[in-house]
Amino acid sequence: MSTKKTSLKDIAQKAGVSTALVSYVLNGKEKESRVGQEIAIKIRQIAAELNYQPNHLAKSLRSGKTHTIGLIIADISNPFFANIARVVEDEAKHNGYTVIIGSSDENADKSRDLLDVLINRQVDGFIIVSSEHSELQIHYLKDKNIPFVLLDRYFPEIQTDFVSTDHYQASYEAGVHLIKNGYRRIGMIAYDSQMFHMQERIRGYLDSFENNKLESKKSWLKQIRITNIENGVKEAIDELMNANEPVDSLLFATYSLAINGLKYINELKLRVPADLGIVSFGQAEVFELYQCPITYLKQPIVLLGKTAVELLVKKLKDNVNEPAQILMKAELIERASSESKPNSSI
Amino acid sequence: MSTKKTSLKDIAQKAGVSTALVSYVLNGKEKESRVGQEIAIKIRQIAAELNYQPNHLAKSLRSGKTHTIGLIIADISNPFFANIARVVEDEAKHNGYTVIIGSSDENADKSRDLLDVLINRQVDGFIIVSSEHSELQIHYLKDKNIPFVLLDRYFPEIQTDFVSTDHYQASYEAGVHLIKNGYRRIGMIAYDSQMFHMQERIRGYLDSFENNKLESKKSWLKQIRITNIENGVKEAIDELMNANEPVDSLLFATYSLAINGLKYINELKLRVPADLGIVSFGQAEVFELYQCPITYLKQPIVLLGKTAVELLVKKLKDNVNEPAQILMKAELIERASSESKPNSSI
DNA sequence: AAAGGAAGCTTAAACGATTAAGCTGACAAG
DNA sequence: CTTGTCAGCTTAATCGTTTAAGCTTCCTTT
């Protein structure tokens, strides 16, 4: 096996022409560059014979384009992000792009590191699920004119392209759904985060009371540290259930919170929905498997991912810069965990 | 914002020296190349001032090394692979490598495409979770002398490096565990695949009967098409449960099979483990959340991933070629789903 | 004083591709 | 016969690095 990759030069030599000519032909520029018919055919044939594969590195070095997209997410081992990654991977490939994925662990420093590594690798652009306190990075990208699209989360005070779920409306819908089904003391477990998407989820929850002329208690909203999920969720549930008047239902703001919460609810031998109605963000097969299938807010993952890639690719190709800001609706998938209360009114 | 990236040339100009000297200094070769103390310091300082970041593409083009690893898995949206991917990503980064992930969907054609794309991108080496019928690809890599390590699955008839779980022993242990706990009519749901790892899982299951002097029925083993998981699993379970003497327990050969099976078992209102004991491959939070926590075989994901990366990096760096073939034990995590039968013997 | 050696640089080719610009020869038009 | 045009090529610079080889000085040694 002669292992040497064949280069333009090899083809040129074999055809008895210059590399320039070969390049023109193989890039389909024979017309513009007035290459002879016969020699063009010959070149193509030799290229095929030698199984020529252009060297991406050389191409990229010259053109400044790597046809690579950097995808920064919180954690690829989280099903929500894994699914996003899959969609982005497929859609990018479809457009001739390769994806490099990096997990930031919701940590601004890590995401900054990732950004640097990937910029260094000359990715053409980014799709980013932002972490808390990463505003500076976004400004940096804007200043440096590096194309990017924010996914699922955005900063309302920064003017950027983004594709996101309408977190407010999703949460609001969840609240209304529970109220409609007769629940009155609805707790919410969310992260203690200033990220806009989390604030929106909380706002939606709170507004669902207000707009239905119900009172809510501050103590029903529990915000826990992302660094202390397991214990945080347990404590939150303990407090909510041991209160004078315990909550009758619970809204989980994320998949991870739900996983931990549901586990603990199992341990406590609480019956769902009899003792506790449940609605959660984040779809997953998991929710179908629980003692009682869980009602959840299904985010339009495929559409989110596809749209983000499309947007980015358009920016990369056309170099256009009309910012696109797209909000998509989540769908409430009703399951048994939030069933109508037996003697419910409204 | 002057957006131009600073290159060696810029530094050289500002320092009034040649680019060669700058390159030597910034690569720490001042000693070998007899660069003057003062000028070295000056160069370093200017590099820092201009925030110099070497151009990966140029480096790679020259050196032939991209410091990139291709990771080919079945599907990033499957938790098992997502976790693998995460570990590989982290470990690779630790070693100065970047990972490009591709999903093959257990399809040899797709994985062949992926391979080509990534070879074209000049990845230095591969970590591969092989698909069925992909032997040719492996031979191709060997012929071309492209370094790779197989992960989790390997071909016994091809001499390669690999890091894998001992699938036989895992399955065997699962069988023995069920038998010990009083189950006698143990079914298995596996893929209809000739892949070695699947065959090993089946062999382990069968041997657990034999070595305990129990008889097994052929009809207890159900192998279903990977392209028809949902219905396949349902039909299999129907057949197993509607037989004259239905099985009293079930071993799922993979995570996906288990997810589908458990869902259906829920629908059938079967009680676990009273009506049906369960053991499954593939850890996941999911299994803790079921109506009754599921006993599972925990593969050493972190170790698998880390070791694969270490092995590959060693091959890439030292260019050594003693093939390493590593088998790791899975751990049986006992939960309620395979509890001792009330009136069990042995 | 001449030769040798080393310290401290520079030069230039190479990696593989792209592309503007230039060169050559044939043919047509005047 | 001269000039112009154009088809059909080649040349050479360029992207940013690396690195073998060569070139000056200057110092040491005999």
Q: CA of B58 and C1' of C15: distance in angstroms?
A: 8
- 3-state SS assignment for residue B194: coil
Q: Which residues pair with A188 in a beta bridge?
A: A221, A251
Residue whose Cα is closest to the C1' of C19: A20
* Structure confidence by residue, pLDDT tens digits, A73-103: 999 999 999 999 999 999 999 999 999 999 9
- Taking CB atoms and an 8 Å cutoff, what residues of chain B touch A262? 289
Fold of A167-299+332-338: Rossmann fold (3.40.50)
Helices (H), chain B: 8-15, 19-26, 37-49, 56-63, 79-94, 108-120, 135-144, 167-180, 196-210, 229-242, 255-267, 286-289, 301-318
Domain chopping of chain A, boundaries: 8-54, 66-165+301-329, 167-299+332-338
- With CB atoms and an 8 Å threshold, state whether A263 touches B289: yes
- Measured CA A43 to C1' D1 distance, in angstroms: 40
What homologous superfamily does CATH list for B8-54? lambda repressor-like DNA-binding domains (1.10.260.40)
At residue A206, the pLDDT reads: 96
What's the pLDDT tens digit per position in A3-39?
A: 678 999 999 999 999 999 999 999 999 888 889 999 9
Q: CB under 8 Å to B204, separation ≥6 — which residues?
A: B167, B168, B169, B170, B171, B172, B173, B174, B175
Measured CA angle at A213 (ends A207, A216), to 5 deg = 60
* DSSP label of A338: G
Residue carrying structure tokens 């098409």: B225
Q: Give me the CATH code for the B66-165+301-329 domain, please.
A: 3.40.50.2300
Whether A158 has its CB under 8 Å from any CB of chain B: the answer is no
The 10s digit of each residue's pLDDT in A255-302 is: 999 999 999 999 999 999 999 999 999 877 889 888 889 999 999 999
**Whole-angstrom Cα Rg for chain B:** 26
Q: For residue A283, what pLDDT is reported?
A: 78
CA neighbor of A283 nearest in space, from B77, B254, B291? B77
Q: Is the confidence at residue A172, as pLDDT, over 60?
A: yes
Nearest Cβ partner of B57 from A60, A78, A145? A60
As a whole number of angstroms, the distance between CA B106 and CA B128 comes to 11
Tokens 């003017």 correspond to: A159
Asked whether residue B58's C-beta has any atom of DNA/RNA strand C within 7 A, the reply is yes
Asked if the model's pLDDT at residue A346 lies above 50, the reply is: no
Q: Which residues touch strand D (CB under 7 A)?
A: A 16-21, 33-37, 39, 58, 61-62; B 5, 7-9, 19-20, 23-24, 26-27, 29, 52-55, 58-59, 61-63
Q: Which residues of chain B have pLDDT under 70?
A: 1-3, 343-346
Question: Cβ of A98 under 8 Å from any chain B Cβ?
Answer: yes
Q: Is B145 on the interface with A (CB under 8 A)?
A: yes
Contact list in A for residue B123 (CB cut-off 8 A) is: none
Note the pLDDT tens digit of each residue in A26-75.
999 988 888 999 999 999 999 999 999 999 999 999 999 999 999 999 99
Note the pTM of the prediction, 2 decimals. 0.94
Q: Which residue is the nearest neighbor of C12, CA to C1'?
A: B20
Predicted pLDDT at A184:
94
Tokens of B346: 């042995």
Tell me how many degrees the CA angle A156-A158-A164 measures, rounded to the nearest 5: 50
User: How buried is A1 (Cβ within 10 angstroms: 0-12 exposed, 13-18 middle, 19+ buried)?
Assistant: exposed
pLDDT at A345: 47
Alpha carbon of B336 to those of A331, B214, B339: distances in Å? 34, 24, 5
A163-196: string of b/e by CB count within 10 Å (b at 16+)?
A: bbbbbbbbbbbbbbbbbebbbbbbbbbbbebebb
- In angstroms, the CA A147 to CA A164 distance is 17
Reference A254, options A305, A195, A212; nearest CA is A195
Q: Name chain B contacts of A3, Cβ cutoff 8 Å.
A: 144-145
What was the pLDDT predicted at B295?
97
Same fold, B66-165+301-329 and B167-299+332-338: yes
CA B288 vs CA A289, B215, B283: distances in Å? 10, 32, 9
CB contact under 8 A, B83 and A93: no
B67 Cβ under 8 Å from any chain A Cβ: no
Q: What is the pLDDT of residue A343?
A: 65
